[in-house]
Homo-oligomer: A and B are copies of this chain.
Amino acid sequence: KRSIFLTVREGRSLCGMLHLVQMYPPLTDFLSSGLYRWAGDANTFDGDDYIEVVCSPSNPDGSIREAVLKSKSGKDIHDLAYYWPQYTPITQMLAHDIMLFTVSKCTGHAGTRIGWALVKDKEVAQKMSKFMEQSTIGVCKDAQLRAAKVLGAVTDGYEHQLATAAGGDANLLFHYARRKMAHRWCALRAAVAASGIFSLPNEVAGFCTFTKDTVTSNPAFAWLRCEKQEVEDLESFLRENKIITRSGTKFGADQKVVRISMVDTDEAFGIFVNRLAAIK
């Protein structure tokens, strides 16, 4: 059967490793299934029978993506791991057939390995449940309880603000996280300007219907390019400068670009921008 099919695993959406383009083929073909196989980039795919995975905002570059294939028998899976107000303006209510989410990027609890899906077709939802039952019986109960508590704390913050008409947003997770991300992007752009040999994607802005203001996006990853001609392998060049990144080659791009995590600890992020600014 000529199709791409990517399975939903225990308590996680298809985020993280699956964003590394180089990891798709081994993951999809690992068990040599007769039901599905890796069929490559959707942009070059020819056929009607497929599952297309759409990561939006995209990892690594934070851009908003839509399905490129259109077929009645094909299916789309929308990975919305990064569709939260701290990373991007929430410009619309999405209503795709299959939408995946995770606490990993929403609240930062990646290790808890809990995700959820919104699925329109009951039959598809039942198949997803059946797969999880077959492969694991059920997700870790400790993790489920912890994730429920974490998400409850986030919504409690917003409900409290509504109930008390409080003006501050100190306890509002998405507001806090957006300030944090905006601050980091500001620091990164200053470091890039200080160095002079790098470039970043242009800032993208939009009206966020969640926070009711116009904001720029602050992706969880920076897609950093080197403009210096003699640097051919940027990942190696940065490693020599004590900065660990992931090469663009791992995402189907060239080796003059790398992906940098914007969500490390304050301390590590501070060291990183200082080192980057000093590179000439």
Please list the residues of chain A having a beta carbon within 8 angstroms of any beta carbon in chain B: 9-12, 16-17, 26-27, 30-35, 111-113, 131, 134-143, 146
Chain B residues with Cβ under 8 A from A138's Cβ? 111, 113
A33 contact set on B, CB distance < 8 A: 31-34
How far in angstroms is the closest Cβ of chain B from A187? 28
CA distance A32 to B141 in the complex (A): 29
CA distance A244 to B16 in the complex (A): 42
Instruction: Give A149 Cβ to nearest chain B Cβ, in Å.
Output: 11
Give CA–CA (A72, B54) in the complex, Å. Answer: 46
CB of A140 to closest CB in B, whole Å:
4
A135 close to B9 (CB less than 8 A): yes
| Chain B residues with CB below 8 A from A11, complex form | 140
Sample of 17 A–B contacts (CB below 8 Å): A10-B10, A10-B136, A11-B140, A12-B136, A30-B131, A30-B134, A30-B135, A31-B35, A32-B33, A32-B34, A33-B33, A111-B138, A112-B142, A140-B142, A140-B143, A142-B142, A142-B143
Which chain B residues lie closer than 8 Å to A141 at the CB level?
Answer: 111-113
Residues of B within 8 A of A134 (CB): 26-27, 30
